[in-house]
Amino acid sequence: MAYNLLKGKRGIIFGALDENSIAWKTAEKVHEEGGSFVLTNAPIAMRMGSINQLAEKTNAKVIPADATNVEDLEKLIDEAQEILGGKLDFVLHSIGMSINVRKGRKYTDQNYDWTHKGLDVSAMSFHKLMQTLHKKDAMNEWGSIVALTYMAAQRVFPDYNDMADNKAFLESIARSFGYFYGKDKKVRVNTISQSPTPTTAGKGVKGFDGFIAYAEKMSPLGNATADECADYTLTLFSDLTKKVTMQNLFHDGGFSNVGVSQEVMESFQ
C-alpha cells in the first residue's frame, strides 16, 4: 500500500547488491512512494550483484562509486543532483564489510590491514559521505540520512568479530555528525539497528542460522525482515519524523530490551 510519502523527494541509495539486500527493498519502496534516486555501489560489488535490474525496475540511474574515496563521492553527489534535478532529501548508507570475518580470522588474531580496510568501508565511509554532502551543501533542509547497524555495537556477539567495532564507530559518527548537520542545515542523521537479516552480507557471519533462530525466540514480535526494515527506513526519509535525529533506533521486534524469553528459558529447563 503506497501513501505517496516521498513524492517529489530525491536521494542516493548505497549498497543494493541483490533482491535480499535491505537497500534493494528500500529502493523498491521509495520508488512506490514517489521518490526518485540514484543507485550506487562499489564497482566490484556491481559486478557480483544484479543492480541493473533494480535500476530498470525503479527508473534509476546507477553510478559506481567507492564510498571510501572522497573524489568518487564528490563525483557521485554532483552527478546525482544533475540527474535528479536538484538537492537531495534522503541518503541511505547500507555498506559494511569485514575481511577478517570473510577469511575466518578470529577477533583475537586480526590482520590489522584488513581491520583498517573494514573500518574504512563500514564506518569512515559514512563520515566521508556526510562531510562531502555537507561541504557541497547538497542536502535540502529537513533532509534525512540513515545508516544501517547492528546491536553488536553495544553487546558482544562473538562471531560478529571486528564488525562490532565498525558498527560502534558508525553509530558514534551518526551522533557526532548529526549534531553539526542539524545545527547547520536542519538535516537529520540516524542509524537503524536491525534484527539479524538473511542478506548476502549477513549470511557471511559464522553460525548465522543459529543466530537468527535465537533472536527469533528472544523477540516478542519476532525478527524484523528486510522488507519491514525498508518500511521503517521510509518513515525516517519522510516528513513524519522531522525531529528525530542522532538516534540509534532499534528495529528488532523487541530483542534489545529482552533479558530472557520464555522460549529460551524452556530450552534450559
Residue positions annotated with a catalytic role: 150, 160
Q: State which amino acid sits at residue 80.
A: A
Give residues with Cβ within 8 angstroms of 76, minimum separation 6.
12, 38, 40, 63, 65
CA-based nearest residue to 91, from 176, 17, 6, 180: 6
* Cα 148 versus chain centre, distance: 3
Flag whether 85 is marked binding: no
The alpha-carbon radius of gyration of the chain (Å, integer) is 18
Say if residue 117 carries a ligand binding annotation.
Answer: no
Phi then psi dihedrals of residue 200, to 5 deg: -60, -40
15 belongs to an annotated ligand binding site: yes
Q: SS3 breakdown of the chain: % helix, strand, coil, rounded to 5?
A: 50, 15, 35
How far is it, in rounded angstroms, from Cα 32 to Cα 1? Answer: 9
Which residues line the annotated binding site? 15, 21-22, 95, 167
Which residues line the annotated binding site for NAD(+)? 15, 21-22, 95, 167
